[in-house]
Amino acid sequence: MKILSNKLFEIEKYLVDVIEGRKKQNLQILHNCQEIMNLLPNTSIESMVKSFAIKSNDHYHAIYIASLVRSVMSLHKLINNKLDLQEKVEDVGKEIKKEEAKTLEVKKEEQKVEKMSDGPDSK
């Protein structure tokens, strides 16, 4: 849009310079300006305005739907990540419990061995 605005400003400046006599008129440039003006849509016709409004609404609708789809996909990915993380945390918790159980068993075995070695035969 900025480029278009700059180009229109240049055309306006050229036309003002021609009207004020600072530049000679170039018939090819004037012809192209007239063509541009003739190709512009007639926005005074209500059916044309309605048509542009419908077209714009269709474009905005497509953009809105695309944004919704992107948001839903992002939420889905976030939920999957959270579930994966919970699963990993549960797995780590189970492994820790197994290790604690093994450690507890080893301690019990050590205590049994100590009791046996402290028994009546050792005196």
List, in sequence order, the alpha helices (H) in 20-45: 27-39
Q: Is residue 5 part of a domain?
A: yes
Tens digits of residue pLDDT in 25-80: 999 999 999 998 888 888 788 888 888 899 999 999 999 999 999 999 999 999 99
Q: Is residue 3 part of a domain?
A: yes
Q: Is residue 100 part of a domain?
A: no
Q: Is residue 82 part of a domain?
A: no
What pLDDT band is residue 119 in, cutting at 50, 70 and 90? low
What pLDDT band is residue 117 in, cutting at 50, 70 and 90? confident
Q: Is residue 1 part of a domain?
A: yes
Average pLDDT over residues 85-111: 90
- pTM, full prediction: 0.45
Q: Is residue 43 part of a domain?
A: yes
Q: What residue numbers bound the domain in which 36 lies?
A: 1-47
Q: Is residue 70 part of a domain?
A: no
Domain count, the chain: 1
Tens digits of residue pLDDT in 73-97: 999 999 999 999 999 999 999 999 9
Confidence check: pLDDT of 115 > 90? no
Q: Is residue 80 part of a domain?
A: no
Quick check: 27 and 21 in contact, CB under 8 A? Answer: no
